[in-house]
Structure 1
Amino acid sequence: MKKDKYLKELTINETQKRHGDNTKKDVMKIQSWLSLYAIQNPESGTVTGIDGDFGPATEKAVKNFQKATKSSQNGIVTPQLFEKLCEGMKDAFERPLQSITLRNAMVEAAENHLRNAPFELEIKGQSNSGPWVRAYMDGHDGSPWYWCMGFAQTILDQAASALGKDFRSLMPLTYSCDTVGTTGLSKGLLTRYQTVRNNPSVMKPGDFFLLQKSRYDWTHTGIIISVGNDVIETIEGNTNQAGSRNGIAVLKRTRNFRKSKLDVFSIEPLV
């Protein structure tokens, strides 16, 4: 994969514990993963502040995680325990894809990520933060870093790489919907929403949708995984139940393409 910054989210430099010789950055990673674990396991009691201080609250959250995962409840985070904390990301990025076509691999990779519940955090008052955002955005996070394109390109990169292809032959590495939209126009790969409505067959699983604000301004993107008569099913990042371009998670959504301005970027040349 070309987008490999996720690897930094899977390790800590050394064991971290209360009253230990701790590294603030590693403690914040631990606190982040403890809070992310609680999103899928709300009864676990692992939510804690993300401030880099391994105090009594973090120690208790670690013990609660250890209890939930049937580990020794000593409140100490070894590199091995940290691997358990972030095993969902490792699975999402490194589970071997079984598909032999790019379109199927796109859907498979997107579903693998969805299953592991990528979610953003708010850290030091900044939304769009945390391990998942940094993994998709090549190390960047914070409120300005809308991550829907980062997620979509990660899926494309993962699927293409599994088949020995480089996604950058199709589009540049970017976090901008506008860049992908204008690239699609210049290469003849972007179908406007008016045509999409009249001929849904132009959309195929694995293609990107681009939500159009104006003719040359797009505000959100995601991966199309299935196409129906009036709706598409998608997997998209930085969204919520309302389909926001600045939401909180990777979600599977259903969108009515006949009522939305959804342009479509085709990945066909890479297929």
Structure 2
Amino acid sequence: MKKDKYLKELTINETQKRHGDNTKKDVMKIQSWLSLYAIQNPESGTVTGIDGDFGPATEKAVKNFQKATNSSQTGIVTPQLFEKLCEGMKDAFERPLLSNTLRNAMVEAAENHLRNAPFELEIKGQSNSGPWVRAYMDGHDGSPWYWCMGFAQTILDQAASALGKDFRSLMPLTYSCDTVGTTGLSKGLLTRYQTVRNNPSVMKPGDFFLLQKSRYDWTHTGIIISVGNDVIETIEGNTNQAGSRNGIAVLKRTRNFRKTKLDVFSIEPLV
């Protein structure tokens, strides 16, 4: 994969513990993953502040995680325990894809990520933060870093790389929907929503949808995973139940393409 910054989210330099010789950055990683664990396991008691201070609250959260995962309740985070904390990201990025076509691999990769519940955190007052955002955004996070395109390109990169292809032959590495939209126009790969509504067959699983604000301004994107008569199913990053372009998670959504301005970027040349 070309987008490989996720690897930094899967390790800590050394064991971290209360009253230990700790590294603030590693402690913040631990606190982030503890909080992310609680999103899927709200009864676990692992939510804690993300401030880089391995104090009594973090120690207790670690013990609660250890209890929940049938580990010895030491309150100490070894590199091995940290691997268990972030095993969902490792699975999402490194589970071998079984599909032998790009479109199927796109859907498979997106579903693998969805299964592992990518979610953003708020850290030091900044939304769009945390391990998952940094993984999709090549190390960047914080409120300005809308991550829907980072997620979509990660899926494209992962699927293409599994088949020995380079996604950058289709589009540049970017976090901008506008860049992908204008690239699609210049290459003849972007189908406008009016045509999409009249001829839904132009959309195929693995293609990107681009939510159009105006003719040359797009605000949100995601991966199309299935196409019906009136709706598409998608997997999108940085969204929520309302379909926001600045939401909090990777979600599977159903969108009515006949009532929204959804342009479509085709990945066909890479297929």
Q: Cα deviations across residues 235-255 of structure 1 (Å, max 9, x unaligned)?
A: 000000000000000000000
Distance 2:58 2:193 in 1: 49
Which residue in the other structure is 1:31 paired with? 31
Name the CA distance, whole Å, in 1 between partners of 2:194 and 2:42.
Answer: 43
Cα distance in 1 for residues equivalent to 2:243 and 2:135: 22
Q: Which residue of 2 aligns with 1:179?
A: 179
3-state SS of 1:251 partner? strand
Separation in structure 2 between the aligned mates of residue 165 and residue 255 of structure 1, nearest angstrom = 30
Query: Which deviations, in whole Å up to 9, do the C-alpha atoms of 1:13-70 show, x marking residues without a partner?
Result: 0000000000000000000000000000000000000000000000000000000000
Shift of 1:75: 0.0
Question: How many angstroms apart in 2 are the aligned matches of 1:209 and 1:74?
Answer: 47
Deviation at 1:232, TM superposition (A): 0.1
Secondary structure, aligned partner of 1:21: coil
Once the two structures are TM-superposed, the CA of residue 222 in structure 1 deviates from its matched residue by 0.0
- SS of 1:141's equivalent in the other structure is coil
Cα deviations by residue, 1:87-109 (Å, 9 ceiling, x for unpaired): 00000000000000000000000
Deviation at 1:270, TM superposition (A): 0.1
State the partner residue of 1:164.
164
- The offset of 1:230, in angstroms, is 0.1
**Offset at residue 123 of structure 1 (A):** 0.0
CA shift, 1:4, in A, is 0.0
SS of the equivalent of 2:52 reads coil
Q: Provide the rounded CA distance (Å) in 2 between the counterparts of 1:45 and 1:22.
A: 23
2-side partners of 1:55 and 1:160: how far apart?
A: 43
Q: Give the superposed CA RMSD.
A: 0.1
Q: Equivalent residue for 2:133?
A: 133
CA shift at 1:136, angstroms? 0.0
Residue 225 of structure 1: aligned partner: 225
Provide runs of 4+ in structure 1 moved above 2 Å. Answer: none
Query: SS of 2:218's equivalent?
Result: strand
Question: Which deviations, in whole Å up to 9, do the C-alpha atoms of 1:135-154 show, x marking residues without a partner?
Answer: 00000000000000000000
| Offset at residue 226 of structure 1 (A) | 0.0
What is the TM-score with the length of structure 1 in the denominator? 1.00
Deviation at 1:190, TM superposition (A): 0.0
Deviation at 1:182, TM superposition (A): 0.0
Please give the secondary structure, in 2, of the residue aligned with 1:22.
coil
Deviations 1:125-173 (A, max 9, x none): 0000000000000000000000000000000000000000000000000
Aligned residue pairs, count: 271
Distance 2:169 2:256 in 1: 30
TM-score (norm 2): 1.00
- Residue 206 of structure 1 deviates from its aligned partner by 0.0
Indicate the SS of the match to 2:152: helix
